Structures are given as C-alpha cells and as structure tokens.
C-alpha cells in the first residue's frame, strides 16, 4: 500500500522540483550584476572627515532586464557601499561623466549638459 502512495506522489514531487528549478534559474538571470565603469577619487584639496571618498560610476546589468547606471558616493572605490544615485533619466549621456568635488558636496555633470548635486552629508 505504501508503494502505491509513493508512486502517486512522485509526479507531484517532480512538478514541485521543476517549478523550483525554473524559479531559481529565472532569479539568477534577473539578478543584477555590477561593473565599475570609472572611479573618481576625492582630490586632496577637498577634505570632509579625514577619509578619502570616491564617486564610482557603476553599471548594473542583468541577463534579463534593462541596464541601469548609478553613481555611488562613499569610501568604497568598488561602488559596493555608499550613497547611490540612479542615472536613468532619459536624455542623459552617461558615457562621459565629469565629477567636481567641493566642500559642500559633489557635482556630477553629464555629456548632455545635465548636472546633479549630492550634498556631502549624504556620503560622509
């Protein structure tokens, strides 16, 4: 009798395992991966709290989905940790960034002429 119950449950188990496997594959394909495009170190002429800060231009991409760009401001040059600013507005030329460090914060200028200011209190 127990053998018959196992045989009936086997197709349901395969379905559950199959659905879980598909969900894991989809999650891995959609999981974003980061690559640093360029790092802009804080110049020695600008001092915030004694630590060196960086503006990392990071490209977030996934096999499935839309790529996005971010500037990550903080003490980590890899862009893994810090204050994130998404750069996904239409019309921005993200291929050329210019970063200007001031005592008040950071100006990020795009090739398209757009500028974004991030006050120092957000990344110090």
Residue 119, token pair as written in the block: 């006050």
Lowest-pLDDT range of 20-24, 59-63, 115-119: 20-24
In angstroms, the CA 29 to CA 3 distance is: 39
| Gap between the Cα atoms of 96 and 21, Å rounded | 41
Which residue's structure tokens are 């980590």?
76
Direct distance between the N- and C-terminal alpha carbons of the chain, in angstroms, rounded to an integer: 69
Kindly state the average pLDDT of the residues 2-21. Answer: 65
- Domain of residue 105, residue span: 32-122
pLDDT (0 to 100) of residue 10: 63
Q: Are residues 38 and 21 in the same domain?
A: no
Report the pLDDT value the prediction gives residue 97, as an integer from 0 to 100.
Answer: 86
Within this chain, do residues 2 and 45 fall inside the same structural domain, yes or no?
no
Q: Does 36 share its domain with 89?
A: yes
At residue 116, does pLDDT exceed 80? yes
The whole-number average pLDDT for the span 44-68 is: 86
| Domain count of the fold of the chain | 2
Residues 57, 70 within the same domain: yes
How far apart are alpha carbons 86 and 66 in whole angstroms? 13
């Amino acid at each position: 009798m127990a053998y018959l119950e196992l045989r009936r449950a086997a197709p349901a188990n395969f379905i559950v395992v199959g659905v879980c496997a598909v969900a894991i594959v989809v999650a891995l394909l959609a999981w974003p991966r980061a690559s640093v495009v360029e790092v802009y170190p804080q110049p020695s002429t600008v001092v915030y709290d004694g630590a060196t800060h960086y503006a990392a231009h990071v490209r977030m991409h996934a096999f499935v989905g839309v790529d996005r760009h971010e500037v990550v401001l903080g003490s980590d040059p890899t862009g893994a940790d810090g204050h994130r600013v998404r750069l996904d507005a239409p019309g921005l030329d993200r291929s050329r960034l210019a970063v200007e460090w001031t005592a008040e914060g950071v100006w990020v200028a795009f090739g398209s002429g757009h500028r974004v200011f991030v006050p120092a209190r957000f990344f110090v």
